[in-house]
Amino acid sequence: MLNTTRLVNNLLDMARIQSGGFNLKKEWLTLEEVVGSALQMLEPGLSSPINLSLPEPLTLIHVDGPLFERVLINLLENAVKYAGAQAEIGIDAHVEGENLQLDVWDNGPGLPPGQEQTIFDKFARGNKESAVPGVGLGLAICRAIVDVHGGTITAFNRPEGGACFRVTLPQQTAPELEEFHEDM
């Protein structure tokens, strides 16, 4: 029943986001805050810590917090599911030019060759014969959420092995840090 409810909710979310009838509730948040919240939600299901490499000083991002957390949660859940319980998983982020680049990576088996872009299609699964449960909506939802934030998401196999999902978001001019803290 829980899986059916989750499937229906995912389908409804996709329809809302893609119809344009979805209101983004963007706010200025620190990247650390969003990543930390996503990790806290996943903590019970993680068998080993996530490697983090986040930019210094605090990086402010203008996002719908719960939606962007969902992107991170979906990507991390996929890494845990497909790379295996003992896999090394990480989040690397840095500002490159006028964009924030955030990578969620693992050292698992990687992506099936030639499916690096089609994996984001609704109901697409990297390995059709996979024993890993799922219907192929998680990455489609990630792409829809990143798209409405004006960003991009790509996937590729890492040279050292494993998969990497890269989210690129345009950086906007953030408020001064003093203003940011006054709003909190």
Q: Which domains are assigned to the chain?
A: 2-183 (3.30.565.10)
For 81-118, what is each residue's pLDDT tens digit? 888 777 899 999 999 889 999 999 999 999 988 888 88
CA distances from 118 to 60, 139, 164 (A): 31, 10, 15
Res 83: pLDDT? 86
For 32-45, what is each residue's pLDDT tens digit? 999 999 999 888 77
The secondary structure element, H or E, covering residue 105 is strand 99-106
CA atoms within 13 A on the CB side of 98: 5
Contacts 24+ apart (CB under 8 A), 42-50: 42/73, 42/76, 42/77, 42/80, 45/77, 45/80, 46/80, 47/80, 47/85, 47/86, 48/86, 48/88, 48/89, 50/76, 50/89, 50/90, 50/91
- Rounded mean pLDDT of 151-163? 96
- Higher-pLDDT residue of 182 and 23 is 23
pLDDT category at 16 given cuts 50, 70, 90 is confident
pLDDT category at 129 given cuts 50, 70, 90 is very low
Cβ-contact 163, 157 below 8 angstroms: yes
Cβ-contact 105, 163 below 8 angstroms: yes
Res 81: pLDDT? 86
What's this model's pTM, rounded to 2 decimal places? 0.84
Tokens found for residue 50 = 């996530």
Res 168: pLDDT? 98
Amino acid of residue 80: V
Q: What percent of the chain has pLDDT over 70?
A: 84
